[in-house]
Amino acid sequence: MALLSISIQALARFPVPKLVLLDRDGVINQDVGAPGVISKTQFQLHDGVGTAIAKLKQRGCRVVVITNQSCVGMGLLEPNGLNEIHEEMQRLLQEEDAEATLDEIYFCTAVDDDNPRKKPNPGMVIEACSNWNIDASEAVFVGDTLTDMQAAKAGGVANRILVQTGYGFGLMGNQPAQSPPMIVKANNLVESQSQMSIVTPFADTQDLPAAVQWLLHETDT
């Protein structure tokens, strides 16, 4: 059974945000599965993400990354190696578009799920909003996992976008996202998508470029 299509929800829009919080693996780059990207040679951008981030910057948005990197805490990757991966990410983004600059990269290397900064806990979300002096109501979180959406919700970010790159497609029961994106509420979810009910409402989109196009009101509603 496909996700229900309700026109009034498809018309709902988020305001252009002051702060855009992006998950990394599955949103910016291809998710390689456990234990994650542990070498910069594994890091490959999803198509169009550099251009998408540049568009946000051109509209005056702050753009930051919020990522769990427990591979460091498990000893599979040295801190310097993580820095090299993030330098490669920034290089590839700016290679695609010189204006695709990230304002900050927040990462948590903890293995302990009780760590307040580790998603689904909201520590990094709260930290980013505080650091940039931007209220959570003026932010948007773009992620591909349930834990991304949980961290955003717990951090007070009401505007949440799930992309279908990474794990998002499976979380939505392998049902393709609509274009333009749809605001998903709990009563729109079928059984195969029911785990997402705890983080509704959220927008369901194809990928980061589609999310940015919609956020910046570049698509017809």
Convert the pLDDT of each residue in 117-163 to its tens digit: 999 999 999 999 999 999 999 999 999 999 999 999 999 999 999 99
Q: Rounded distance, CA 125 to CA 92, Å?
A: 25
Q: What's the whole-number mean pLDDT along residues 176-199? A: 94
Cβ-based neighbours of 95, under 8 Å, separated by 6 or more? 50
Q: What's the whole-number mean pLDDT along residues 19-24? A: 98
By the 8 A CB rule, do 74 and 96 touch? no
Residue 219 has a pLDDT of: 64
DSSP 45: B
Of 174, 209, 211, which Cα lies nearest the Cα of 2?
174
- Written as six digits, the tokens of 68 are 């769990």
Residues 29-80: tens digit of each pLDDT: 999 988 899 999 999 999 999 999 999 999 999 999 999 999 999 999 999 9
CATH number, span 16-215: 3.40.50.1000
By the 8 A CB rule, do 49 and 209 touch? yes
- Written as six digits, the tokens of 211 are 């999310």
Residue 154 has a pLDDT of: 98
Helices of type H across 59-194: 70-73, 79-96, 123-131, 146-154, 168-171
Q: b/e map of 21-37 (b: 16 or more CB within 10 Å)? A: bbbbbbbbbbbeeeebb
pTM above 0.75, yes or no: yes
The residues carrying an active-site annotation are 23, 25
**How does DSSP assign 68-107, residue by residue?**
E-HHHHTTSS-HHHHHHHHHHHHHHHHHH-TT---SEEEE
